[in-house]
C-alpha cells in the first residue's frame, strides 16, 4: 500500500463571529498566515523522514478552507526541502486558468526542480469557484478536456500547434520539459460518470475523498466496469482513497482533540463554498447541474445516490460513514484496512492536518502513524 499525507492548508484563525460569505480578507493575519505556511511545510517535509511515499495538496480560492491558490508554489518550495518523496498537486483547476500552456510549463519546471518526483493532477474545481471567477460553468468540461489535451501535446512534441475551440496556437515549443517521460505521473479527482469514463479512456488513476465509503466503492466499481468495457482491467493501483485521520493514545482523547477540529473544518468550508453557492443561485442545483448531467450519478446503488451533508453528522456518524478515521493506533489501522479492502484501492492519503488542529497534535499523530500503523499497512 502506498501512503501519502494530503494537506488542504486551512487557515486556523477565523473567529465564529466573522461574516460568512465572503469572509473579509482582513480576517487573514499575514503574520499568523506566514507561521501557518511554515508549520505546514515542516509537516510535509517531515513526512519524508517518516517514510511516506508522498505529500499531496490542491488548489482553492477565496476561502480559509484552503489557503493554497497556487499549489505549484508549495510544490516548488517542498521540492527544495525533500529528496525522495513524491510531490502531488491534485490539482490545477484547468477551466479557471487563463491558459493551459502556463500549467504545462510550471508542472515541467516543478518536475525538474524535484528531479522527477511530481504527480501532476488536474481538476475542474467546485461550483463556488466558478461564481467567484465569473467563469461560465457550462463550458467547464469542454475547457477542462481541451486544456488537458493541449498540455499533453505540449509535453510530448518538440514543436507543436493546436487548433481547439478555446485555444489556438501555432508552432510552439515549451521550455523546460519534464524529467519524467513522456510526462509526469497523472492523477485525477473524478466522481461523475462522464469524468470516470474520460479517465478510463486515458488510463488515468482517480482519487476520492468527500463521499461515504459505500459511495466510493460504487465509484471505483463503475471505473472497473468502464475499463472492462474498454478492453482492459483496472487494478488497485488505479484508485486513491483520501480520509481525514487522527491518531491518539485513547479513543476518548482522540475524540476530544479531533472533533472540534472537524467542526472548524466544516465551518470554514461552509463559509467559503456552500454559502457562496446559495447566494449566487436561487436554486443551488442550477449551478451544480451546469457541471453535471442527469446521468452523472446514476451508477450509484440505491441508497448511495443522495449527497451526504457530513457537516450535520455527529462524531459517530463521521466514523460510521468512513469520512473520518480516528482513534487509537490499533483502531485506526483496522479502519484503514477495512476501507481499503472494501473500495479496492492501493493508495491511501491521510488528511492529517484537519481544520485548526494544532501543529504539535499533527506531529504526534504522524509519529504514531509511522510507529504503530505504517508497518501494518505495508
Which tens digits make up the pLDDT trace of 27-61? 999 999 999 999 999 999 999 999 999 999 999 98
Degrees, nearest 5: CA angle 343-349-354: 120
How far apart (Å, rounded) are the C-alpha atoms in residues 156 and 161? 12
Among 173, 175, 204, 177, residue whose Cα is nearest residue 189: 204
Report pLDDT for 282. 46
pLDDT tens-place values along the chain, 378 residues long: 999 999 999 999 999 888 877 889 999 999 999 999 999 999 999 999 999 999 999 999 888 999 999 999 999 999 999 999 999 999 899 999 889 999 999 999 999 999 999 999 999 988 778 877 888 888 889 999 999 999 999 999 999 999 999 999 999 999 999 999 999 999 999 999 999 999 999 999 999 999 999 999 999 999 999 999 999 999 999 999 999 999 999 999 999 999 999 999 999 887 766 555 555 544 445 555 556 677 888 999 998 988 899 999 999 999 999 999 999 999 999 999 999 999 999 999 999 999 999 999 999 999 999 999 999 999
Q: Find where cell 482517480 sits.
A: 206
Q: Whole-angstrom distance between the N-terminal and C-terminal Cα of the chain?
A: 6
What is the DSSP code string of 263-295? HHHHHHHIIIIIHHHHHH-SSHHHHHHHH--TT
Please, are residues 377 and 336 in contact by the beta-carbon 8 Å criterion? yes
What is the DSSP code string of 145-190? HHHHHHHHHHHH-SSEEEE-SS-EEEEE--SS--SSSSS-EEEEE-
Q: Find where cell 453535471 sits.
A: 292
CA dist 233 to 65, 183, 230, Å? 37, 23, 9
Pairing of strands 206-208, 239-247: parallel
Report pLDDT for 274. 59
Please, are residues 310 and 210 in contact by the beta-carbon 8 Å criterion? yes
Report pLDDT for 132. 78
How far apart (Å, rounded) are the C-alpha atoms in residues 205 and 169? 29
Among 245, 242, 222, residue whose Cα is nearest residue 234: 222
Question: Any idea of the CA torsion for 185, 187, 193, 194, to the nearest 10 degrees?
Answer: -60
What is the DSSP code string of 115-135? TS-EEEEEE---HHHHHHHT-
Which helix (H) or strand (E) segment holds residue 142: the answer is helix 140-156
Please, are residues 287 and 277 in contact by the beta-carbon 8 Å criterion? yes
> pLDDT digits over 217-255, tens only?
999 999 999 999 999 999 999 999 999 999 999 999 999
Report pLDDT for 293. 75
CATH of the structural domain 2-377, one choice from 3.90.1210.10, 3.20.20.30, 2.60.120.650, 3.40.50.10070: 3.20.20.30
What is the DSSP code string of 52-90? -SEEEE----SSTT---S-HHHHHHHHHTT-SSSEEEEE
Amino acid at each position: 500500500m502506498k501512503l501519502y499525507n494530503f494537506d488542504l492548508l486551512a487557515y486556523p484563525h477565523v473567529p465564529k463571529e466573522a461574516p460568512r460569505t465572503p469572509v473579509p480578507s482582513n480576517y487573514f493575519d499575514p503574520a499568523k498566515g506566514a507561521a501557518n505556511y511554515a508549520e505546514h511545510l515542516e509537516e510535509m517535509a517531515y513526512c519524508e523522514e517518516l517514510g511516506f511515499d508522498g505529500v499531496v495538496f490542491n488548489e482553492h480560492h477565496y476561502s480559509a478552507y484552503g489557503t493554497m491558490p497556487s499549489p505549484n508554489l508549495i510544490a516548488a518550495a517542498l521540492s527544495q526541502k525533500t529528496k525522495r518523496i513524491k510531490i502531488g498537486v491534485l490539482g490545477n483547476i484547468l477551466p479557471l486558468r487563463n491558459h493551459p500552456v502556463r500549467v504545462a510549463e510550471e508542472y515541467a519546471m516543478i518536475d525538474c526542480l524535484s528531479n522527477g518526483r511530481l504527480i501532476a493532477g488536474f481538476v475542474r474545481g467546485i461550483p463556488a469557484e466558478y461564481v467567484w471567477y465569473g467563469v461560465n460553468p457550462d463550458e467547464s468540461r469542454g475547457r477542462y478536456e481541451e486544456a488537458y489535451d493541449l498540455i499533453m501535446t505540449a509535453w510530448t512534441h518538440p514543436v507543436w500547434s493546436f487548433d481547439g475551440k478555446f485555444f489556438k496556437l501555432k508552432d510552439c515549443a515549451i521550455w523546460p520539459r519534464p524529467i519524467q517521460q513522456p510526462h509526469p505521473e497523472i492523477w485525477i479527482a473524478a466522481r461523475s460518470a462522464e469524468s470516470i469514463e474520460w479517465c478510463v479512456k486515458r488510463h488515468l488513476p482517480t482519487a476520492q475523498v468527500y463521499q461515504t465509503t459505500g459511495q466510493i466503492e460504487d465509484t471505483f466499481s463503475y471505473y472497473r466496469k468502464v475499463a472492462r468495457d474498454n478492453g482492459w482491467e483496472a487494478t488497485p493501483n488505479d484508485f486513491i482513497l483520501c480520509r481525514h485521520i487522527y491518531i491518539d493514545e485513547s479513543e476518548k482523547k482522540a475524540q476530544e482533540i479531533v472533533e472540534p477540529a472537524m467542526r472548524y473544518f466544516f465551518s470554514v468550508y461552509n463559509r467559503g463554498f456552500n454559502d457562496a453557492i446559495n447566494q449566487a443561485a436561487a436554486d443551488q442545483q442550477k449551478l451544480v447541474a451546469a457541471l453535471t448531467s442527469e446521468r452523472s450519478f446514476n451508477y450509484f446503488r440505491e441508497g448511495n445516490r443522495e449527497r451526504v451533508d457530513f457537516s450535520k453528522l455527529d462524531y459517530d456518524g463521521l466514523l460510521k460513514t468512513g469520512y473520518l478515521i480516528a482513534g487509537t493506533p490499533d483502531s485506526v489501522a483496522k479502519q484503514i484496512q477495512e476501507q481499503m479492502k472494501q473500495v479496492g484501492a492501493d493508495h491511501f492519503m491521510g488528511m492529517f492536518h484537519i481544520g485548526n488542529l494544532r501543529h504539535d497534535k499533527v506531529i504526534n499523530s504522524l509519529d504514531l502513524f509511522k510507529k504503530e500503523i505504517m508497518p501494518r499497512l505495508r
